[in-house]
Chain A
Amino acid sequence: MTEPPISKELVQKHGLTDEEYRQIESILGRQPNFTELGIFSVMWSEHCSYKNSKPELKKFPTSGVGILVKAGDENAGVVDIGDGWAVAFKIESHNHPSAIEPFQGAATGVGGIIRDIFTMGARPVFLLNSLRFGPLTENKSTSAVVAGNNRKLLKGVVAGIAHYGNCIGIPTIGGEVYFDESYTGNPLVNAFCLGVLRHDQIRKGKASGSGNPVFYVGAATGRDGLAGAAFASRELSEESREDRPAVQVGDPFMEKLLLEACLELFEQADAVVGVQDMGAAGLTCSTCETASRGGAGIEIELDNVPQRESGMTPYETMLSESQERMLIIARKGKEKLVRDIFEKWDLHAAEIGRVTDDGLMRVKKSGRVVAEIPAAQLANDAPVYHREARPHPAAIDTRGTTADTRGTTARNGSHEFPNFKNDREALLNLLASPTIASKNWIYRQYDHQVRTGTVVLPGSDAAVFRVRCGETEKYLAASADCNGTHCYLNPRQGAKMAVAEAARNLACSGARPLAVSDNLNFGNPYKPENFWQLRECVEGLAEACRFFNTPVTGGNVSLYNESPEGAIDPTPVVAMVGLIEKKEWITTQAFKKAGDLIYRVGGAGKGLGGSRYLKELLGEKRGPLPEFDFEKELMVQEAVRQGIQSGWIRSAHDCSEGGLAVTLAECCISGREGIGATIDLEGVGRSDEMLFNEAPSRVVLTIAPEHRAVWDALAVEKALIGEVGGSDLKLETAGSTLIWKVEELHQFWWNAIGRLMDEEAC
């Protein structure tokens, strides 16, 4: 078994530039060997080092009151929720694996994010996900074959998420799904997990204390997940000849054991110094990062690493991305305790090495040193690049309007939006369009009620979950949002609106926002237009997070999301977590009671730019986006919060995709039993613009009649537009009356995705 010699070609195949290679030589003071080259290549990949996005990520606000662990310091951020309790949460992508193998790609995405959370010492309590696919049906830019493939991807991804989350027993309680041509061939699968812990339970991913033992726990290592590095392994050994899938295979039962064993171990005082999951770059990343954080060195012997295949080389063992594995730095003398707990759960706990004080990551194979690299430099000194940015043409040329690089939408009243000319049908079609339609076909495949905390079921603005904090209980709200169309047309404003919408969703559920985890999904950053979108979005997100006082506690960057047709729409997914301080404040979107008064808060809105109406019914994706104003947004949210906390508000629903008409329809049909409403919209101009514009900062809410006077006295832009009752949605606009049966609206909305997926709707 000989290792290939280091050549210019080999360096290139590892995705390292000449300059990066020179830096490696200077760190080592010599030429790297093959294993070391592999180690550098994964640690300095975009995925692990953020080398192309780091300067941008620094723009996020990351600290604030209540932030206990900051972004970038550990596997996930930790935020205070009071009474000595905290939440750890994070969102992460598994886009590329899911494109290749949707079931396992999505499943292992869920597994990975769950590990990030319990690595922090938290018990994971719920999951969300944010998904993007190409259109499910044939249209002018989507062939029948492509649409069929998109359906296959949706089916596989949902089944994969369900498989992992359901088995491990963590409920998937909400999320969002969009369908758009730009995601054909490159679906997005972003998974979010939140866990709960006491402040004193926070675990760090550091190795310190020379002589402390290093344990490898969980599943054995195989050759799965060698991905791009697989080429090399084929040249290495006889046994690696057969093809291995580049996508890892998930075992949720194994992870359940790992989760329980780790949490049980963490309860033991002084047994554990540090812990880190083996995700991307597996053993490599976990060893050098823990050593680097602890200011120490680490030495491991690969012969002691549990392996499920024979003949694995050091290169393969170090680069494997086998799932369900963790690295635990225990305290010397606690070895038996560690072993006993893992044995109870029938898991490997192999002592593979120890902490040293020389700052080196030293890897041995049968006693012989096969890699020796300064840990801190490997973990932290990846090159950082400032990429070139050039405004994306889509954001500039939106038919006679411009968005300058600062993102202010130019207003141009002269251009005309096309008109579908049948408002009644337009609403039904929008309700049946997959992006707006009920996602029950999806969320009913997820166990969304295990852990008996799901207080607001999937389908409302924000998911609300009761967490058990010792003998007390707390109510958390969480929402994931991003309108890719908006970000495509105007990245900066689209990103701001994503944060605003997440905060508004939380406000509508009765919550006060705490913090954000973001998932930046973009195209190849080497293309200046893509990098411009990334930069614009980051700056928009940063500004909005600062404004709403919701620091970014971490997240993930996924670049190179492209298919031969081009890059995806920029999709910076914002997952926001909030706290509902009293049980009585929990509010849902469905109309509750006949006679309740319906208000539209935040104005009538103007302009159809960026709307689902233009996109779904008229096939146009164009701006300009409606105006957005931070101060107005905050006023609306504060009014909603005040109304809820005062007990005036019976229901509240954020007005977003599909505009006011879709919002009203959803209020009628999303309760256990539907209920109608009579609406009278005053105003001039086009009725379709009034019904379907997607101006931000708007909410539809109901007030119990007895609270009308106090509510009316509240200073916020609002209008009484109708009353709850009956079995029809009756809408008067500019001289015409539209009537839909609630049952009819429900039918279009509830069964749309199931019908497209050729399944019975049950």
Chain B
Amino acid sequence: MKFGILQFPGSNCDQDCFYAIRNVLKEEVVYLWHKEADLQEADVVVVPGGFSYGDYLRCGAIARFSPVMGEVKKFAASGGLVLGICNGFQILTEAGLLPGALLRNRSLKFICREVCLRVEHPLTPFTLHYHKGEVIRIPIAHGEGNYFAEPDVIAELKKNRQIVFKYTDAEGRETPEANPNGAMENIAGICNKAGNVLGMMPHPERASESILGSADGLKMFQSVVYWLKINRAGQTPSAPVRSAEINLAAV
């Protein structure tokens, strides 16, 4: 399985994702330079955290115009798996691959800490290895992670089961105190309607080994590998629309 990690000049979690995939997950991984419109036949694209182009304007606002993002859009449209983490999530919303926007944190301060997430939707290619309602620990580190969308968009997200992770307390309760940044509906991560594009503020690569305090994030990468394996027969990127659910039923 081949992972491709986008590299914008200000990406700073690219090496961490690379390490988690190569050294912990032990899968093939390459960097995809922002100036090149070439995904090097990656099976899954990771848009890592950082500050893409400095992000002095608005997080991810410039990144969406980069040559590589044009390819990512095509890849996503044809069903390819795209995982946006933190700044990657911001970029995916700016690029129109995911709905909504990430506003400044309620506290107006950058926040780095571990949070608890409840898995809302385990039937995506990224969450197959989790159970519904499972509470996982993954760190966040962002200044603009306050998810916002118009009410009708939120309603759509709910209806289509696109809300994948929510901030909760350790017992899985969706309380205001457990919401670190003021995100609507305690939303920490969402997917597109087809389920092949996921954006999330927490950093699974920072929770991929127990020595770092949690290995709960590793399962996300393992889910992707598993999903790709069971879909190999159909030649990626085959129509993955909701296919996780379909295929899961078959497994």
Contacts and interface: CB of A to CB of B under 8 A. Distances in A.
Most B CB contacts (10 A, CB to CB) among A253, A254, A345 go to: A253
B188 to A, nearest CB: 15
B249 interface: no
Contacts of A448: 112
Contacts of A346: 9
Contacts of B15: 451
Given A253-B53, A346-B9, A454-B212, A445 B111 contact: yes
B10 interface: yes
Interface in A424-478: 443-452, 454-455, 457, 466, 468
Interface in A709-762: 759-760, 762
A583 interface: yes
Nearest to B141: A447
Interface in B46-101: 49-51, 53-56
A167 B10 contact: yes
B211 A466 contact: yes
B9 A260 contact: yes
A445 B9 contact: no
Contacts of B19: 452, 468
Contact of A449 (B35, B51, B112): B112
A450 B16 contact: yes
Given A162-B110, A166-B110, A256 B12 contact: yes
Most B CB contacts (10 A, CB to CB) among A167, A168, A252, A583 go to: A167
Contact of A450 (B13, B56, B213): B13
A15 interface: no
A603 interface: no
A257 interface: yes
B105 to A, nearest CB: 9
Contacts of A391: none
Interface in B5-26: 9-10, 12-13, 15-16, 19-20
Given A169-B13, A253-B10, A260-B9, A452 B109 contact: no
A757 to B, nearest CB: 10
Contacts of B110: 162, 166, 445-447
Given A168-B12, A450-B141, A253 B51 contact: yes
Contacts of A457: 213
A50 B51 CA distance: 38
B111 A444 contact: yes
B203 interface: yes
Interface in A580-629: 583
Interface in B132-186: 139, 141, 143, 177, 180
Contact of B112 (A256, A447, A468, A583): A447
Given A457-B213, A466-B211, A468-B19, A169 B12 contact: yes
Given A256-B12, A346-B9, A762-B111, A449 B139 contact: yes
A509 to B, nearest CB: 14
Nearest to A123: B15
A443 to B, nearest CB: 8
Interface in B170-218: 177, 180, 203, 205-206, 208-209, 211-213
A452 B112 CA distance: 13
Contacts of B247: none
A444 B107 CA distance: 12
Contacts of A167: 10, 12, 51, 54-55
A759 B206 CA distance: 27
Nearest to A169: B12
Contacts of A345: 9
Nearest to B14: A169
B16 A451 contact: yes
Nearest to A583: B211
Contacts of A166: 110, 112, 141, 143
Given A167-B51, A169-B12, A169-B50, A455 B212 contact: yes
A454 B212 CA distance: 7
Contacts of A583: 211
A445 B212 CA distance: 19
Contacts of A159: 109
Contacts of B13: 169, 450
B144 to A, nearest CB: 12
Contacts of B141: 166, 447, 449-450
Contacts of B112: 166, 443-449
Contact of B180 (A443, A446, A468, A762): A762
B139 A759 contact: no
Nearest to B11: A169
B228 to A, nearest CB: 24
Contacts of B212: 449, 452, 454-455
A446 B110 CA distance: 7
Most B CB contacts (10 A, CB to CB) among A254, A447, A451, A457 go to: A447
Nearest to B212: A452
A254 B211 CA distance: 33
A718 to B, nearest CB: 30
Contacts of A455: 211-212
A375 B112 CA distance: 47
B213 A452 contact: no
A751 to B, nearest CB: 13
B203 A449 contact: yes
Nearest to A673: B170
B12 A450 contact: yes
Nearest to B12: A169
Interface in A511-528: none
Interface string A149-182: 0000000000100100011110000000000000
Contact of A760 (B51, B55, B107): B107
Nearest to A586: B211
Nearest to A458: B112
Nearest to B181: A762
Interface string A410-426: 00000000000000000
Contacts of B49: 450
Contacts of B143: 166
A260 B15 CA distance: 12
Given A166-B141, A444-B113, A452 B10 contact: no
A171 B244 CA distance: 37
Nearest to A457: B213
Interface in A618-664: none
A451 B205 CA distance: 10
A450 B139 CA distance: 10
Contacts of A260: 9
A587 to B, nearest CB: 13
Contacts of A446: 110, 112
A459 to B, nearest CB: 12
Interface of A: 159, 162, 166-169, 251-254, 256-257, 260, 344-346, 443-452, 454-455, 457, 466, 468, 583, 759-760, 762
9 contacts: A167-B54, A167-B55, A168-B12, A169-B51, A253-B55, A253-B56, A445-B110, A449-B112, A762-B111
Given A169-B50, A451-B16, 15 more contacts: A162-B110, A169-B13, A252-B54, A253-B55, A256-B9, A256-B12, A257-B9, A443-B112, A446-B112, A448-B112, A449-B112, A455-B211, A759-B109, A760-B107, A762-B111
Q: Which 10 A-B pairs have the closest CB atoms?
A: A169-B12, A253-B54, A447-B141, A452-B16, A167-B51, A447-B112, A445-B110, A449-B206, A162-B110, A449-B139
